[in-house]
Amino acid sequence: RIYDIAVIAGDGIGKEVMPEGIRVLEASARRHGFTLRQKWHDFAHCDYYARRGRMMPENWKEEIGKPAAIFFGAVGWPDIVPDHISLWGSLLQFRREYDQYVNLRPVKLMEGVPCPLAGRKPGDIDFWVIRENTEGEYSAIGGRMFEGTEREMVMQETVMTRKGVDRILKFAFDLARTRPRKLVTSATKSNGIAITMPYWDERVAEMASSYPDVSWNKFHIDILTANFVLKPQIFDVVVGSNLFGDILSDLGPACAGTIGIAPSGNINPEGEHPSLFEPVHGSAPDIAGQNLANPIGQIWSAAMMLDHLGEKQAAADIMRAIEMVLKEPSLRTRDLGGSADTQTCGKAIAVLLS
């Protein structure tokens, strides 16, 4: 088994946590007998922008070629490039051009990570948030009228296509099918948003009918967010439109205290295009260059990438190693009350795999 991986470290702590992600991937490859062919790309970072006036070369798609996956650090250095330019010029290009219509984030409470919800133990919180990543509320359809007058108005349309809704729901039901509880929860608001959201609900019911072995329920987004905090134990796979999924995919990891170590996948499930795996966090200019960054978000993203590539056992082993290192204060980084630097933490995880 040989996998071609495009590696893009990006800015700030992206450049510090990426080598730890690679260290762990290499240890995992040695142990499980597969090969990762890495191609590092020196673009999609703000120094590139400073030199060239753009985030990526015009022919970036050719440069990247057809890797099995893209392993990404973090992008953004607001002193050089405004954030909307660095993000739109790099990460959002990948998401769109590669039709990465699934944004996938685990929400898992782990020992050694302080949980902001009182009284929760590891095992209580273990679910996935799936966000639709290409349509919905984030459309470019709309505009302003009568600007500067009393009749001034703005509007922006929500776009839901059958293809777009069905494919994200299918991903959710397929994922639920692989899990012990086999439960899909749909985020809706069909009481207030009375055209698009009833359509979403209809498509959920329709999709559910092809999955007799998977149970499902739905909550309006307001009570759903409350339940993330009040009853996180009731969730297994939670699926939402672009806007609802955006909110839930930050709230979920925050409830498990993991926003600093959480990973994410931007996935094109059919494999027509590469999927991209990256930590949830950004480039952290406040701690960059000090070897303080927690590499676990990058390493957990590596585990998600291997899982996506079909290396399930390798992915599970990385997760076990992460869980062991999180229990040990001398191996945790300072953001989790430990004393380790970035490399100490990364090496500790890699050693457990060798």
Please, what is the minimum distance in Å from the beta carbon of residue 324 to ligand NAI?
19
Choose the one of Mg ion, ligand NAI, none that binds residue 287, judging by a C-beta under 5 to 8 angstroms depending on kind. Answer: ligand NAI
Question: What is the Cα–Cα distance from 338 to 329, expressed in whole angstroms?
Answer: 5
Q: Minimum distance between the CB of residue 201 and ligand NAI, rounded to whole angstroms? A: 31
Query: Cβ closer to ligand NAI: 16 or 311?
Result: 16
Residue 325 and residue 113 in contact, taking contact as beta carbons nearer than 8 Å: no
Using CB under 6 A as the binding rule, whether residue 221 contacts ligand NAI is answered as no
Which residue, 48 or 216, has its beta carbon nearer to ligand NAI?
48
Q: Write out the two tokens for 293.
A: 């960054």
Applying the rule CB under 6 A, the residues between 47 and 86 that interact with ligand NAI are 74-76, 78, 83
282 binds, among ligand NAI, Mg ion, none (CB under 5 to 8 A by kind): ligand NAI
> Residue 192 gets which letter from DSSP?
T
CA distance 187 to 177: 19
Give the nearest distance from C-beta 342 to ligand NAI in angstroms: 8
Q: Can you state the angle between helices 296-309 and 14-32, rounded to 10 degrees?
A: 40
φ, ψ of residue 18 to 5 degrees: the values are -60, -45
- Contact stretch for Mg ion (CB under 5 A) within 166-174, 202-210, 240-248, 301-309: 240-248
Close Cβ partners of 341 (under 8 Å, ≥ 6 residues apart): 291, 292, 333
Between residues 60 and 244, which has the closer beta carbon with respect to Mg ion?
244
Based on CB atoms, which residue is closest to Mg ion, 13 or 262? 262
Which partner from the list ligand NAI, Mg ion, none does 122 bind, CB cut-off 5 to 8 Å by kind?
none
Q: Which of residues 265-294 bind ligand NAI (CB under 6 A)?
A: 278, 281-287, 293-294
Q: 275: closest CA among 13, 60, 5?
A: 5
- Rg, Å, the chain Cα set: 21
From Mg ion, ligand NAI, none, interface partner of 345 (C-beta below 5 to 8 A by class): none
Which CA distances in Å does 284 have to 15, 292, 294, 340? 11, 10, 11, 18
CB of 334 to ligand NAI, least distance (A): 8
Per partner kind, with CB cut-offs from 5 to 8 A, the member of Mg ion, ligand NAI, none near residue 294 is ligand NAI
Please, what is the angle between helix 342-353 and helix 14-32, to 10°? 10
Contact between 77 and 11 under an 8 Å Cβ cutoff? The reply is yes
Residue number with CB closer to ligand NAI (214 or 260): 260
Euclidean distance between CA atoms 227 and 68, whole angstroms: 37
The reply on whether position 335 binds ligand NAI by CB under 6 A is yes
* By CB under 6 A, residue 260 contacts ligand NAI: yes
Residues that bind ligand NAI (CB under 6 A): 13, 17, 74-76, 78, 83, 87, 91, 260, 278, 281-287, 293-294, 297, 335
